Each structure stands twice: as structure tokens, then as C-alpha cells.
Structure 1
Amino acid sequence: MSAPLTVMLVAAEASGDALGAGLAAALKRRLGGGVRFVGVGGARMAAEGVESPFDIAELSILGWVEGLKAYGRVKRRVAETAALAARERPDVVVLIDSWGFTIRVAKAIRAAAPQTPLVKYVGPQVWASRPGRAKTLAKAVDHLLALYAFDAPWFEREGLKTTVVGSQALHVDMDGADPAALRRELGLAANARVLLVLPGSRPAEITRMTPVYEQAVARLRAGRPDLEIVVAAAGPVAESVRTRVAAWPFRVHLVDEDRKYAAMRLADVALATSGTVSTELALAGAPMVIAYRIGALSYRIMKRFVTARHVTLFNIAADRRIAPEFIQDAATPEALAAAVARLLDDPAVAAQQAQDQTEALSLMGRGGADPSELAADAVLDVLAARRG
């Protein structure tokens, strides 16, 4: 009997952990007991058999300055990850998202074991900033699994073979999400309007965004005392969100990740920190306002490299500002409250935005095959080509 295929999966953030878990499950469906996993990941990948040597929460770094401060820690974890690859000698390595960490891991593994095929799952957003990263990635890995069709040309021009697998966020199954049941569970009146607040999934996002959201919501409630506030706490930062929201001077209904989709379908309007959650909200039919802040120095540095006019993916795909975006200094409590109020107080505007969001999802590839299945096929194709 031949030895099982050894696949190394490396993810450094919650979003990558979810992608890695989906890929692992898809590979197991194809290979059964003929595959084993090693690597770095979080709780979801652990459930699929990836035993991580360290907690990836410490690698959830936001901003240029914060990255510099964490450089020593990241360097040590890169060395540990490369050492794991050297011990386990995987047949293929899949490096998931998290550009700063995974590009260093790719270079370390390539230097130590140049024969090992390297696959990058989610490329850097070169269409938004720093297009030179496409060439850097092409030199570091053998294949890219891209989320969107508009990603591919940037990397293919540099000679990097690319497979567009689609975004898992476009395939979220919300059929089991029951907004009516959640309304009853939270004790909300049948006609109560609901504002859903999604503060983010990284510690730095929670630190920066929750005070802004608290002040914005306070302004909204001043003229709408019957407005119900629901806050969804992502798993990795749930305790931090819970602690901060408990101090807000008005009633808040906190829901965990398991009830996030029901909350999205329940919401009249959402106020959200930029990220994958914007796509999920669009799928749920919730009109939204997007905000984001990073450290002031990091923002000044980053602004020199950014070329994109939007940060929300469906806005980028549609090439217009469907959902309002408030970035850095523009993300003030007053501005956010005014944008949310417009959607709360004008149902026609809210309905039109929700419709436009849904239509933009088609431009992102909604309706395609399951990304995890396509990613598994691509990984096996890369391995077969190398062996051939």
C-alpha cells in the first residue's frame, strides 16, 4: 500500500482558516484515507486534521507599523513553519491568504526544498495597490488559486499559472438561517427595526472600530429610541467584543458566529467593518454602510500605494459606489450615523441598494461551482503535473 499524500496547509488568520478547512474537507472527499494534513491553522482546520504548532491569533496583524513591531515574532513563526515542512516533507504546500506571512514561508520552503510544489490560495490585491507583488509571487510559487476573474490577468502576465476558483463567501448557505426565530429569541417586537453592527474579526479592528460604532449608534438611537441594536461577534475576538459592548450605555443584543447569518437576514441595515462580511451581507439582502480604520502612520504609508477607488469587493466589481464607504478619517460617528439613517429612514433607498448589491454579486462570480471543490481539483492537478 502506498503512503498517503501529505498536504501542508498554512493559514494565519480566521478567513484563511475557513478556506483551509474547506480545502481539507474537499481533498478528503476525493482521497479518503489517502491523504494526511500538516501545517498551520486555527480551530476549523484543526477539526479537519491540521494540528497547528502555534496559535495563529498572534499573526493577525493590521497595518504597516504594527507589522514592523511584530516582525521578530513573525520571523520566528516563519522559521517554525519552514522547519515543520522540512520534518514532514509534504508532497504539496498550500499557502492561504495572509500575504506578509505566507510569502516569507514560501521563500523559506523554496530555498530549503525547491522541488516541493507551492500553491498560493488567494493572491495579494494587486489591482488595489502594489502591483509589483504579482511578480514577487510569480517567482515564489508555482500556482495561484484566485478568488475572482479580475485577479487572474495581473498574475498571468507575470507567468504565474492561475486557476480562478471563486470566493467561498459567494457560496454561503443561508437557508438554515431563521431571522424570525432569532427575533423571538432576542425578544424583539415584530415591527422593531434592527441595526446589525459587525465590528470585525481582528483584535486591532475591534480596538479601533467599536468606539466609533458606539458613538454612531448613540446618535442614531437619540432620534430612534425603538431601534434595536444587534452586534455579531466573530469567534477569534468574541470575548473582546463582549467586554467592550457590555459598557455601551444602551441595550445591545450580542450574537455569536453561529447566529450571524440569521442576524444578517434579520437586519434592516448593517454597519460593518470592511472585509468578507460585506459579501455575506449582500447575499443576505442587507443594505450596509462600510467603515475601516488602521493606525494613522500605517494609513499614510499605505495611501501612497493604493490605486483602487473602492474597498468593498462588490463596489469594485461594479466599478461604482453601491454601498457607502467611510475609510480612516472619513469614518467618523457623525458620518456613519448619517449614512445609516438614510437607509433606515428611506425604505426605497435601502431596497434599491440591496438590489444593486445582489446584482453586483453576479459580477463577482456568484452561481459558480463550489470553490473548495475547484481548489482541491487544482491542487491535485498541480501535484499530478509535477509528478508527471
Structure 2
Amino acid sequence: MKSTPSRIMIIAGEASGDLHASRLVSSISEQYPQIMFSGMGGPYMDSAGVEILFSYENVSVTGILDGMKVIPELIKTRSKILKFAIEKKPDIVIFVDFPGFNMNLVKFLKKNLLKSRMIYFIPPQIWGWKPSRSKKIAKNFDLILTIFPFENEFFKKSNIPAKYIGNPICFELMQKTKTSLTKNHLNIENSYNIIALVPGSRGKELNRHLPAMIDAARILHSELSKTVFVVSEANSLPKDIIHSFLNKSENFILPYRGKLSELLKISDFAIVSSGTASLEASVLGVESILIYKTDILSYFLAKYFLMRVDYLGLSNLIVGEEVVPELLQGKVNGIDIAKLVRNRFIEGNKFKKEKPFISEIRKKLESSNPYTKASEYIFQDWIENADKK
């Protein structure tokens, strides 16, 4: 085996994976600038110097029903990636999140790339959703790089080589204490409060969450005359798409396209969809509630057959109790959201319970640079297995 790898293939299937992958690539490139990177991703990976062979935009979906619609495209993309991999023979293949696609792809790559190391960076949450996947992971992956401390122990119990690298979200948020965004930038008076609305980074999430959030804002507006609702428009969404959900006369609801963490830092409260946004809000100490709605088939299967945890929110999972209230499926409507916001933000009689756990979450997730750590473990794995190939 070569002393250092010459080509690394990296597979990311959504906006967050694209961002994390780009930072990992940058960390590796600092030490090993000669390595060539190629794979599936988006603009962040492209900026980091990765040769983007396939864009993730056509295969990034949520829910089982949505996933079924793009099966032909998924199969087509998998075949193209496999063909490229067999031709170029990358020394290392790094998979970033996106388990529905990556767990299937790795089986084909493992059979055809006998000398390549298979590494999962930000693995699927099998501890909460599909424990049966642990056998498949043990069979197909050489190394797992985890971002939550409790994941490491779970994988080790299944005899899967795992290394905890720290949490990228917490690391980034704790590095920057100041924000460049101010209320003035959004034309909001300093005396006004901001409630951030974070519907998600995918089109389907936007359609399922934002209407209910806006309905809640309309209900609350009469009670909160000095409050502006700011909608986070993810960079992965079409520009100005938020405007299509709003009435021109509703000047108390504003769109914001930029870094979510910047918005959260100047917000007094947040209504977030499940995912990394809920964790960001908690790490930054922002009062929040979590909402999530998916198609009925996905919810039914998850609730009765797949889900193995009591909560969806990462903050709640880390702490082990519902410190951030959750509204799911049928409760994702303007009336129920407004009622909970009224209880938490206006009356403020329950948030006292949440604050002590903010420091607990930060303490559990604090670490050195996770991308540097991931890079170290990747090359440690490469060196340790140099004589086995």
C-alpha cells in the first residue's frame, strides 16, 4: 500500500453533508495537498477543490413516499458512481450521512474495490431508527467517525470500529461568540423581539412546516405587537422562495437568507424543524420548540416499526428528557404552535427548566476541531492497515 492515498472519493447527498464534507476535505488538503478528491456533492465541496461528478440535488429527499419518486434517479446515479470508482480505484471512499443511499452504495463498492478503505463520516442514527443496520455497517465499513459521544459506545458494542471526533455543530458555534448580523441589517428596531422560523433546508420540509409556522405567526401577531417573525431561507432552497408563502401586507414576517446561527444569535425565541437546527438553538441558548411533519407512510413505519427513541430532537436525546417541546404530525398547525409559543415565550413559565441543560449539552459535545480529528483517524486507519492489503 502507498504511504499516502492519492485519490479519495467522497459521497454527500444533501446540503449539510456537502458542508461537512467540504470542511473535512479542507482539513485533509492542508496536510496532504497532493491528494485528488472526487465524488457526489454540491457547491461547498466544489469550493473545497472536490471534482463534483454528480450533484446531490436530484437525489436529496425526505420521507419514504418522496424517496420512491426518485428511485430511478438514485439507481442511475449509483451505477455512474460505481463505474467511475471501478475505473479510478480510489484509495479511500468517505460516505457522509445520507444513509438510504450510502448504505446501499457501499455494498457495491465493497465488492468491487477490494483494496479501498470504506469510511463513514457522520453515520446513520441506527441507535434510534434501525438497529438492524449495525450488522451491515460492520460488514461493509472499515471505520466509523461519530459526532455524538453515546454513538461510539453503541457501535463498539456491535464490534464496529468507531472513533468519536467531536460535534461539528457545537464546535463551530462555540468558536464564534459575536455575530455580524444585527437587527438593523434586517430593518428591525432594537426594541423589537425576533422569533426565528426554521422550516428546514429541503423543499418538502418547507411545504410541510412553513404554512403552519406562518399561521402561528398570524395568530400571535395581535399579542406580540413588538415582535417580528424571521423565516430562515436555507441556501439549498431557490432564492426568494419564502416570498411565495407570504402576503405583501404582512410586514411582521420577514425572510432571511444567510447563516442560521447568525439569525439565532439575535433571536429571542425559535420555532425549528427537527434536525441540526434544534441542536444549534440549544447550544446557543435560544428558547425553542421543535416541530416535524412527514408523509403518513414514513411516520407510521417510523412510529410502529423503526423508531427506537423517545424523542426526535437531538437536544432531548442528549439530555434524556424533553427539555425542548416537540409537536409532531397532526399537531403541526398554527393553533397548536401558537399555543405552545404563548406558553413558552409570552408567559415564560416553563423555560426555567431548560437553561441548566444547555450547559450540560455543551459540556458533552465540547471537543477540539472535529474535522482535524477525523482527518487524523482516517490516516491512522490508512497507516495501520498498510500491510494488510
* Superposition TM-score, scaled by structure 2 size: 0.93
Once the two structures are TM-superposed, the CA of residue 242 in structure 1 deviates from its matched residue by 2.5
Aligned AA for 1:229?
F
Q: In structure 2, do the counterparts of structure 1 residues 277 and 313 end up closer, same or farther at CA, with 3 Å as the change threshold?
A: same
CA–CA distance in 2 between the matches of 1:178 and 1:346?
Answer: 30
CA–CA distance in 1 between the matches of 2:215 and 2:246?
Answer: 14
Equivalence for 1:333: 334
Equivalence for 1:175: 177
CA–CA distance in 2 between the matches of 1:266 and 1:153?
Answer: 36
Equivalence for 1:13: 14
1:89 aligns with 2:89: yes
Q: Is the 8 A contact 2:135 2:158 kept in 1?
A: yes
CA–CA distance in 2 between the matches of 1:301 and 1:348?
Answer: 35
CA–CA distance in 2 between the matches of 1:358 and 1:249?
Answer: 41
CA–CA distance in 2 between the matches of 1:3 and 1:322?
Answer: 46
Deviations 1:339-368 (A, max 9, x none): 1122221356446534433432323x22x1
Pairwise mapping of residues 1-388 of structure 1 onto structure 2 (< 5 A)? 5-31=6-32, 33-172=33-172, 173-179=175-181, 182-239=182-239, 241-247=241-247, 250-251=250-251, 252-258=253-259, 260-304=260-304, 305-347=306-348, 349-350=350-351, 352-363=353-364, 365-366=365-366, 368-388=367-387
CA–CA distance in 2 between the matches of 1:287 and 1:185?
Answer: 22
Once the two structures are TM-superposed, the CA of residue 2 in structure 1 deviates from its matched residue by 8.9
Aligned AA for 1:175?
T
- 3-state SS in 2 of match to 1:326: strand
CA–CA distance in 2 between the matches of 1:57 and 1:354?
Answer: 38
Q: Is the 8 A contact 2:39 2:54 kept in 1?
A: no
- 3-state SS in 2 of match to 1:188: coil
Q: Is the 8 A contact 1:3 1:34 kept in 2?
A: no
Q: In structure 2, do the counterparts of structure 1 residues 174 and 382 end up closer, same or farther at CA, with 3 Å as the change threshold?
A: same
Q: Is the 8 A contact 1:7 1:91 kept in 2?
A: yes
Once the two structures are TM-superposed, the CA of residue 257 in structure 1 deviates from its matched residue by 2.1
Q: In structure 2, do the counterparts of structure 1 residues 286 and 351 end up closer, same or farther at CA, with 3 Å as the change threshold?
A: farther
CA–CA distance in 1 between the matches of 2:67 and 2:36?
Answer: 33
CA–CA distance in 1 between the matches of 2:185 and 2:158?
Answer: 53
Q: Which runs of 5+ in 2 are unaligned?
A: none
Q: Is the 8 A contact 2:274 2:292 kept in 1?
A: yes
Q: Is the 8 A contact 1:286 1:354 kept in 2?
A: no
Q: Is the 8 A contact 1:282 1:358 kept in 2?
A: no
Once the two structures are TM-superposed, the CA of residue 167 in structure 1 deviates from its matched residue by 1.7
CA–CA distance in 2 between the matches of 1:296 and 1:248?
Answer: 33
The alignment-based identity, stated in percent, is 21
CA–CA distance in 1 between the matches of 2:26 and 2:329?
Answer: 38
- 3-state SS in 2 of match to 1:195: strand
Q: Is the 8 A contact 2:211 2:245 kept in 1?
A: no
Q: Is the 8 A contact 2:243 2:255 kept in 1?
A: no
**Bigger helix fraction:** 1
Aligned AA for 1:10?
I
Q: Is the 8 A contact 1:210 1:244 kept in 2?
A: no
Aligned AA for 2:279?
T
Compare 20-29 and 224-233 and name the one that shifted more: 224-233
Deviations 1:59-117 (A, max 9, x none): 21111122222211111111111122122211111011000111122111111112211
CA–CA distance in 2 between the matches of 1:70 and 1:129?
Answer: 22
Aligned AA for 1:343?
R
Once the two structures are TM-superposed, the CA of residue 380 in structure 1 deviates from its matched residue by 0.8
Q: Is the 8 A contact 2:40 2:56 kept in 1?
A: yes
Aligned AA for 2:345?
L
Q: Is the 8 A contact 1:314 1:361 kept in 2?
A: no
Q: Is the 8 A contact 1:7 1:37 kept in 2?
A: yes
- 3-state SS in 2 of match to 1:342: helix
Aligned length: 382
Q: Which runs of 5+ in 1 are unaligned?
A: none
CA–CA distance in 2 between the matches of 1:96 and 1:204?
Answer: 21
CA–CA distance in 2 between the matches of 1:184 and 1:352?
Answer: 32
Once the two structures are TM-superposed, the CA of residue 16 in structure 1 deviates from its matched residue by 0.8
Q: Is the 8 A contact 2:8 2:35 kept in 1?
A: yes
Q: In structure 2, do the counterparts of structure 1 residues 55 and 159 end up closer, same or farther at CA, with 3 Å as the change threshold?
A: same
CA–CA distance in 2 between the matches of 1:213 and 1:145?
Answer: 35
Deviations 1:354-385 (A, max 9, x none): 4433432323x22x111101110111112112
Q: Is the 8 A contact 1:322 1:353 kept in 2?
A: yes
- 3-state SS in 1 of match to 2:52: coil
